[in-house]
Amino acid sequence: MLSVDYCKKYLNQKNKYYSNEEIEEIRNYLYQSAEILVEKYFQKKYHANTHHKLNSKVPIHTST
């Protein structure tokens, strides 16, 4: 996780100032957003792979 000081470096620019608490909230929001995006990416990737396998013209052999 990024430190508050590291985040301050980028957030407190151009006459803007955020308190440590605000920076922590922003950082947490960004981490939550990233988690959602990564999860959606893997869901789409899994769905695409599953869809491809289901619609593939190459027969899938399973041992019984």
Residue 34's pLDDT band (boundaries 50, 70, 90)?
Answer: very high
Q: How far is CA 57 from CA 7, 36, 49, 53, in A?
A: 51, 34, 14, 9
Q: Is 11 exposed, middle or buried (0-12, 13-18, 19+ CB in 10 A)?
A: middle
Specify whether the backbone of 14 is left (phi greater than 0), alpha (psi in -120 to 50) or beta.
left
Residue 61's pLDDT band (boundaries 50, 70, 90)?
Answer: low
pLDDT value of position 47 = 79
pTM, to two decimals: 0.64
